[in-house]
Structure 1
Amino acid sequence: MPPVLEAARPVAADTAPLTEPTPPALTDQVALARLYGQPLFKIPHDLYIPPDALEVFLEAFEGPLDLLLYLIRKQNFNILDIPLVQVTDQYLGYVEEIRSRNLELAAEYLLMAAMLIEIKSRMLLPPKVKEGEEEAADPRAELVRRLLEYEKIKLAAQQLNDIPQHGRDFVQTQIFIEQSLQPRFPDVDVAELQAAWRDIVRRARLVQHHHISREALSVREYMSRVLKQLQGQRFVPFEAVFAPQEGSAVLVVTFIALLELAKENLLEITQAEAFAPIYLRLTYLPISTV
């Protein structure tokens, strides 16, 4: 079989070239092509070119309606009065051409071809008028409606495609300019401000120290206070000299003051019987003036 001309492509390491190495004298020439990875400087006499290698498709259609609309507009036919015989013959010629090469692609076009043949056959038959209608419906009406809708959508798509698109027709540029104007700071959200404040309070608790301070309470001062409270009274209940609302430290100092007064014989602590209420009274009576 004669060699086949192919596009330049890399050759695996284990593929042996079919042609002999190029002589050193020909390395400066421009290669016409590459045959199995080797430069070809002269066209062989027995060169075989596949039939499909030089095929060029000048028109590409998106479907059977696109092809049918192309045939009508190319020959300036009135789309509302399509000469179905000519259009069908041209359409079938194109379908037969693509059917011989790509049967899967031709399947969709064959369906439209069957529809055209059906409409052509109905036009050859005598028209049938339905009840309530003055004249018979044109068999081409449905096809014309579909063609007009397709043409409208196609024109709209072309108009949208003509609009400049970002990334296809133009590229958006960004320019950074340093300006010595007043900086614009971003707005701070209330939730972000609360979170920042909570973080500061949490860190403050971690580094703060616990200070214990001694409350300056004078026993002598509370001794004088108890004497003033008992002065002019014979018996005072024991709990009456204490002020619980002033705190435990004041209670302790007051109790120590009572003990000191009793120690110095300035105060008597009496009880009539066991488990009876405890009373306080001064050991001396103030001198009354007559």
Structure 2
Amino acid sequence: MSNERAVENPEVPVLPGQPDSTPDVIDGVAFARLYGEPLFNLPNDLYIPPDALEVFLEAFEGPLDLLLYLIRKQNFNILDIPMAQVTLQYLEYIEQIRMHNLELAAEYLLMAAMLIEIKSRMLLPVRKADTGEEAADPRAELVRRLLEYEQIKLAAYELDALPQVGRDYVRTQIYIEQSMVTRWPEVNAADLQSVWADIVRRAKLTAHHTISREELSVREQMTSILRRLQSAKFVEFSELFDPSRGVPVIVVNFIAMLELAKETLIEITQAEAFAPIYVRLSYAPS
């Protein structure tokens, strides 16, 4: 007895003029099931769009990427690009993408126009500039852009090769029981020294300056100056001041000297300009 088995399917209607796709005797296994029933032949009215399955062997990020691909694939010298051959290949690719996506082809058409312009300029006779120098190569600007793009692309590949979280490795997460014994970190002498230096630095920023009040008498300073002048005929002006006693004492001492001069009790003399200034007691009238 053979492996053939009969299949009866009274629930599936057969359309007029259409042969039954389910044969009475089947040798093999069905390649699909439709609503739970085995399907052994494709329906005659099945429509598959022509672009239902598209395979892209190469994907380009833009016009420069495509142009660089054509140059590197054929081992062309990027400093001496054969514009005729590269332009022809570039236009063939644009023709393919124009039929599927016109908006995408617009950006590539702009580069195609630039390639055609460069090719046309290379066909013209070379003319020297007014300065006597040779004219620049029409391909120079395109070569510069291609080299810069290639450097950026290689840098992007190197960055992509670096390990990334979630793609190349996963961070380990460890659950720690809250009931575990607390382990304090170890502190060495260098850490204590650093913390102490930081505290001292902050203390200096918040230091307060206290101004104390000192009572000074102008009369007492006047008496002191008169006693000093009684023991000497002439005293140099700077010798009557003591800088070690501070600025307030010097100010009061100077005010006392001005009061004595105002009351004509002392005389302040100078022999000539820039000469030392002397102080002496005033002479009493005879």
- Alignment-mate amino acid for residue 132 of structure 1: T
TM-score w.r.t. the length of structure 1 is: 0.50
Listed one character per residue, the Cα deviations across residues 27-48 of structure 1 (whole Å, up to 9, x for unaligned) are xx6553769x987442124433
In the alignment, the residues of structure 1 paired with residue 146 and residue 132 of structure 2 have an alpha-carbon distance, to the nearest angstrom, of 25
Task: Give how far 1:133 is off.
Answer: 5.0
In the alignment, the residues of structure 1 paired with residue 60 and residue 52 of structure 2 have an alpha-carbon distance, to the nearest angstrom, of 21
Unaligned segments of structure 2, at least 5 residues: 1-11, 16-20, 186-286
The reply on whether 1:100 has 2:99 as its aligned counterpart is: yes
In the alignment, the residues of structure 2 paired with residue 19 and residue 146 of structure 1 have an alpha-carbon distance, to the nearest angstrom, of 65
Task: Give how far 1:135 is off.
Answer: 1.2
Q: Which residue of 1 aligns with 2:86?
A: 87
- Alignment-mate amino acid for residue 47 of structure 1: L
- Alignment-mate amino acid for residue 91 of structure 2: L
- Alignment-mate amino acid for residue 173 of structure 2: Q
1:30-49 alignment runs, 5 A limit: 31-32=31-32, 40-49=39-48
1:130-145 alignment runs, 5 A limit: 130-132=129-131, 134-145=133-144
TM-score w.r.t. the length of structure 2 is: 0.51
Q: Which residue of 2 aligns with 1:72?
A: 71
- Alpha-carbon distance change, 33 to 73 in structure 1, aligned in 2, over 3 angstroms: farther
- Asked if the contact 1:34–1:40 (Cα under 8 Å) also holds between the matched residues in 2, the reply is yes
- Alignment-mate amino acid for residue 82 of structure 2: P
Q: Which residue of 1 aligns with 2:153?
A: 154
- Asked if the contact 1:64–1:108 (Cα under 8 Å) also holds between the matched residues in 2, the reply is yes
User: What secondary structure does 1:157 align onto?
Assistant: helix
- Alignment-mate amino acid for residue 110 of structure 1: L
Q: Which residue of 1 aligns with 2:183?
A: 183
- Alignment-mate amino acid for residue 159 of structure 2: L
- Alignment-mate amino acid for residue 105 of structure 1: L
Structure 1 outlier segments of 4+, above 6 Å: 17-20, 178-181
Q: Which residue of 2 aligns with 1:117?
A: 116
- Alpha-carbon distance change, 172 to 34 in structure 1, aligned in 2, over 3 angstroms: farther
Task: Give how far 1:19 is off.
Answer: 8.5
Whose radius of gyration is greater, 1 or 2? 1
Q: Which residue of 2 aligns with 1:9?
A: none
Listed one character per residue, the Cα deviations across residues 23-82 of structure 1 (whole Å, up to 9, x for unaligned) are 9x99xx6553769x9874421244332111232111110000000000000000000000
- Alpha-carbon distance change, 139 to 18 in structure 1, aligned in 2, over 3 angstroms: farther
In the alignment, the residues of structure 2 paired with residue 64 and residue 163 of structure 1 have an alpha-carbon distance, to the nearest angstrom, of 27
- Alpha-carbon distance change, 182 to 101 in structure 1, aligned in 2, over 3 angstroms: closer
User: What secondary structure does 1:55 align onto?
Assistant: coil
Q: Which residue of 1 aligns with 2:192?
A: none
User: What secondary structure does 1:53 align onto?
Assistant: coil
Aligned length: 167
Give the superposed CA RMSD: 3.5
In the alignment, the residues of structure 1 paired with residue 89 and residue 157 of structure 2 have an alpha-carbon distance, to the nearest angstrom, of 26
1:1-290 alignment runs, 5 A limit: 31-32=31-32, 40-132=39-131, 134-176=133-175, 183-184=183-184
User: What secondary structure does 2:116 align onto?
Assistant: helix
Task: Give how far 1:183 is off.
Answer: 2.5
Task: Give how far 1:128 is off.
Answer: 2.6
- Alpha-carbon distance change, 120 to 150 in structure 1, aligned in 2, over 3 angstroms: same
- Asked if the contact 1:32–1:42 (Cα under 8 Å) also holds between the matched residues in 2, the reply is no
Listed one character per residue, the Cα deviations across residues 108-133 of structure 1 (whole Å, up to 9, x for unaligned) are 00000000000000000012322335
User: What secondary structure does 2:52 align onto?
Assistant: helix
In the alignment, the residues of structure 1 paired with residue 64 and residue 121 of structure 2 have an alpha-carbon distance, to the nearest angstrom, of 20
Listed one character per residue, the Cα deviations across residues 69-109 of structure 1 (whole Å, up to 9, x for unaligned) are 00000000000000000000000000011001110010000
In the alignment, the residues of structure 1 paired with residue 34 and residue 126 of structure 2 have an alpha-carbon distance, to the nearest angstrom, of 65
